[in-house]
Structure formats: C-alpha cells, structure tokens
Amino acid sequence: MVEIPLPATGQYLQAVRESSRTARTRANISITPEAIRRFLLSPAFTSTFDRLRHAHGMSLPLNFPSVVAELNVLSILSLLNFASGYRVPLHKATGRGAFDNIRAFIFAAYISSSTGAGDYFSARGMKEITETTVADLMRVTDAIHEERPHESIPGLTVGELGGPVWEVVQLITKTLQETGEALVKGGYPDLGSFVLEALKEGEKAKKAGGDEAEVAVERLIRGIPAFQDMALVYGEPVYCFKKALLTLHAIALRFGKSESSSVPVPRTAHLPIFSDNVIPSLLVHLGVIDLSHADASLGLPQLFPDAQDPARLEALLSATDPVDPAAAKKNKEVPKEGPLLTVEQAYVLRAAAIDACELIVEQAKTLDTSGVEGDFSWLKDITLPELDAWIWAVAKDRPDYRKLERFALRNTPYF
C-alpha cells in the first residue's frame, strides 16, 4: 500500500483546496458559472438558507461535569462522524440513518459511563473497548450475524458474525481503539484534553498573527490517525480532512457565544467544507456538479445518469414544504441505495464538492442580481460552513430530497 504524505506544515487548508481543484479538473467534472447562478437564485436555496445555515446536527443535549468533558464528547462525535456508506443497512436494522446511529451510540456510551459502567470515552477506555460493547451500546446485536449452510450437515444453517452492520461495529471499535492508543502514548487522559491543547496552540499562533484554525487542524490530523482523511486520485494525494475540520467548526458553534468559556474558539468561516457523501451527491442532483462529460475511465458519467434532466432540475430547484419532523419519524421508509463507489471515485466526487462550494461562495460575493425580483444582497456574505450546513440539512428537510440517491463508500472511517 502506497503511503500518502501529509501536507507541509502550515499548508493543510491550502492542500485541501488545491488538491481538490486539481482532482476535479483532471476528472473533467464541470462546474459552470451558469449552473452556480441557477442554484444561488433558486427558490429551493433562497427560501431555506437562513433557516438551515447553522444546522450541522452537532448539539448534545447532555449534562457535563466540566467543559473538558463536554469538549471530549463533542470531539468523539466528530471522530465517529462516518458510516455514511451504511445508511441503508442501518435504516433496515434500526430505523435510523448513519449519523443518528452514531449519536445514539455516543449518548448510550456516555450515559453508561456516568452510571459506573466504566469510562468508555477516556483514552484507556477507548483503547480497551470491544466490538461486543459497541454492538450492545448501538443495540444492534441482533443485526450482526449472517446465516450460512452448515458445511457437513445438510439442511442446517449456522449464524456467524458478518454483514454490513457488523462492518460498522468493527469500524467504530477500531477507530476508538486506535485513537485511544494514540492518546495513551501521548500521555493524554482523553481526546478532549488533546483537542484543547491543539486549540491553545492555535490561540498562541493567532496572537502572533497566524491562522489558529490552520495550526489546530494540523495538530489534530498529525496526532490522530482517524483524522487523516486522504487518498490517491490519479496517483496524486487528495486531502479532504472532513472530520478534523468539522471538529473545529463544531467547537466554534458550541463555545463561540460563551464569554466565560475556557475553550479557545477558532475562527472557522474560511474553512473548506466538510465533504462527505451527502454534499457531493446533492450538488450533482441540483445541477451544480455536472458529471455528463467526466472521466469515463473512472465510470463517473453513469453514476447519476438523470441528474441533468431539465424537468427534474426545475422541480428540485423550486420551493416546497419541508418535512414535518413528527411525520418523518413515523415514516420508516428505507431509503434507496445509491451507487457503491471505489475509493478513487468517492474522493474525486468529494473533491469536486469542495471545489464547487469554493466557487459558489466566490461567485455569490459578486453575483449580479439586477433584474431579479427580491433582495439578494445577503448572498455576498454566505460562508463555506454555512453553505455546507445548508446542503447537509436540506437533504433531510424535503421529502423529494430525502429520496435522492447518495453515493456510498464502504469500509471507510472518514465519512
């Protein structure tokens, strides 16, 4: 396996942007000013942006004994923000999608730790956690076996560990164990303490005129393997670093308005987006990312073959009523599985989404809206994290968007 080098010190954010644009351009994925304008001025976007621009879903309705304890759990929620490739099997097993299952696991593990069952979220607790414990806390013990015919007794079937939900359990367990091991080696009692130290280093750099987010995100990525979200596309590294970037933004959202907080709050409005599978898939469906003439050798044009259909685009870009949360909970319809991708396909689409959002925010600043009815002066102030939040949230907000296929990548701890 080829080892992928980390970016040069002080150039992590730049590496995300530049590697993404290079990969997107090389794959001949089209993002035109016309497609961006159509998206920015669409009723689908303009009528919901203000309501959904902060909806990252990272709030935690739990009581914490200290700021560091809360920072620890918030950081672990970001660390485990993956399993998107298992959305459909998780829905079948639990009635919830990937992120909601991760949140439920976090709540169960934290509450169990608080009632004397052992601190699963200390460095040592993470290092020593088992697959059995993870499955129990996820409440999926009845969904992690597959039946197969007995090798020597006809008509008899035997159950053995396996299947997609078992893969999720293994991914969570391995991520916690590896992170716990790195923290124990570094002498940290928990992930929150490590993250707090990274934030303090960033604050020191900020006082010296540097970019505190750049410093902190590099520290997180260098220190924790599960934050090293990168892959080779066309033999060159593509850096996404979704979870490390999201960690910083989640901290800024949670502690940014607290005047007495002991947590240094990084500025995050300039961060690249936190690219997963939802954002690129939705940007394809909304006509911003066009795969029609993309690299056929990577199999890109046939992934979402109907995405550029004019009537379909018109319907998706029009305004509609949001999903009623109560009705959505009652409707347990399992979503349709999207295309299962290779690592290279997934990373080139994630890279395209990162670059698309850069171009959207850039064009929004100077968009000519003369002749368009309504006041769109607010467009010039939209930020990348707000755009990210809107795309992620609107995917759950509309009944027609919830039914849109999202690509999936299995066996990855990165998104």
Share of the chain above pLDDT 70, in %: 95
How much of the chain is in helix, strand and coil states, percent to nearest 5? Answer: 55, 5, 40
In this structure, the dihedral spanned by the alpha carbons of residues 384, 389, 395 and 396, taken in order and rounded to 10 degrees, is: 180
State residue 147's pLDDT score.
Answer: 75
Q: What pTM was estimated for this model as a whole?
A: 0.93
Q: 134 is written with which tokens?
A: 């993870």
At residue 107 the predicted structure's pLDDT band, cuts being 50, 70 and 90, is very high
Residue scoring higher pLDDT (345 or 321): 345
At residue 180 the predicted structure's pLDDT band, cuts being 50, 70 and 90, is very high
pLDDT over 90 at 149, yes or no? no
What is the C-alpha separation between 250 and 227, in angstroms, rounded?
15
State residue 326's pLDDT score.
Answer: 63
* DSSP for 381-411, written as a single string: G--HHHHHHHHHHHHHHSHHHHTS---B--S
Q: 215 is written with which tokens?
A: 């410093």
In this structure, the dihedral spanned by the alpha carbons of residues 318, 24, 16 and 401, taken in order and rounded to 10 degrees, is: 20
Angle formed at CA 347 by CA 379 and CA 309, multiple of 5 degrees: 60
Residue scoring higher pLDDT (191 or 331): 191
What is the C-alpha separation between 346 and 48, in angstroms, rounded?
28
What is the C-alpha separation between 102 and 314, in angstroms, rounded?
35
pLDDT over 70 at 224, yes or no? yes
State residue 117's pLDDT score.
Answer: 57
Read off the pLDDT of each residue in 3-11 and give the average, rounded to a whole number: 97
- The per-residue pLDDT for range 21-42, each reduced to its tens digit, is 999 999 999 999 999 999 999 9
Neighbours of 175 (CB within 10 A): 21
344's CB contacts (< 8 A; 6+ apart) are: 231, 232, 233, 298
pLDDT over 90 at 258, yes or no? no
At residue 325 the predicted structure's pLDDT band, cuts being 50, 70 and 90, is low
Closest by Cα among 222, 214, 224 to 267: 214
C-alpha to C-alpha distances, 233 to 20, 293, 296, nearest whole angstrom: 10, 18, 14
Averaged pLDDT score across all residues of the chain = 93
Residue 236 bridge partners (DSSP)? 233
Read off the pLDDT of each residue in 157-177 and give the average, rounded to a whole number: 91
State residue 255's pLDDT score.
Answer: 92
At residue 154 the predicted structure's pLDDT band, cuts being 50, 70 and 90, is confident
What is the C-alpha separation between 294 and 26, in angstroms, rounded?
9
At residue 78 the predicted structure's pLDDT band, cuts being 50, 70 and 90, is very high
Residue 340 bridge partners (DSSP)? 408
pLDDT-wise least confident of 227-236, 370-379, 402-411: 370-379
pLDDT over 80 at 56, yes or no? no
Task: Name the DSSP class of 3.
Answer: P
- The per-residue pLDDT for range 192-216, each reduced to its tens digit, is 999 999 999 999 999 999 999 999 9
What is the C-alpha separation between 243 and 266, in angstroms, rounded?
15
Do 246 and 253 contact (CB within 8 A), yes or no?
no
At residue 330 the predicted structure's pLDDT band, cuts being 50, 70 and 90, is low
State residue 316's pLDDT score.
Answer: 97
Do 415 and 84 contact (CB within 8 A), yes or no?
yes
Q: 146 is written with which tokens?
A: 């597959």
State residue 162's pLDDT score.
Answer: 86
State residue 218's pLDDT score.
Answer: 98
Helix/strand/coil for 168: helix
Closest by Cα among 149, 165, 146 to 157: 149
What is the C-alpha separation between 359 and 346, in angstroms, rounded?
20
Share of the chain above pLDDT 90, in %: 82
Do 269 and 357 contact (CB within 8 A), yes or no?
no
Q: 38 is written with which tokens?
A: 């159509």
State residue 145's pLDDT score.
Answer: 81
CA 43 to chain centre: 25
What is the C-alpha separation between 273 and 284, in angstroms, rounded?
16
State residue 153's pLDDT score.
Answer: 82
State residue 385's pLDDT score.
Answer: 96
What is the C-alpha separation between 156 and 136, in angstroms, rounded?
27
Q: N- to C-terminal Cα distance for the chain?
A: 21
Do 113 and 120 contact (CB within 8 A), yes or no?
yes
pLDDT over 70 at 116, yes or no? no
Residue scoring higher pLDDT (114 or 105): 105
State residue 384's pLDDT score.
Answer: 98
pLDDT over 70 at 328, yes or no? no
Q: Do the bridges between strand 236-239 and strand 157-161 make them parallel or antiparallel, or are there none, so unpaired? A: unpaired
What is the C-alpha separation between 190 and 74, in angstroms, rounded?
12
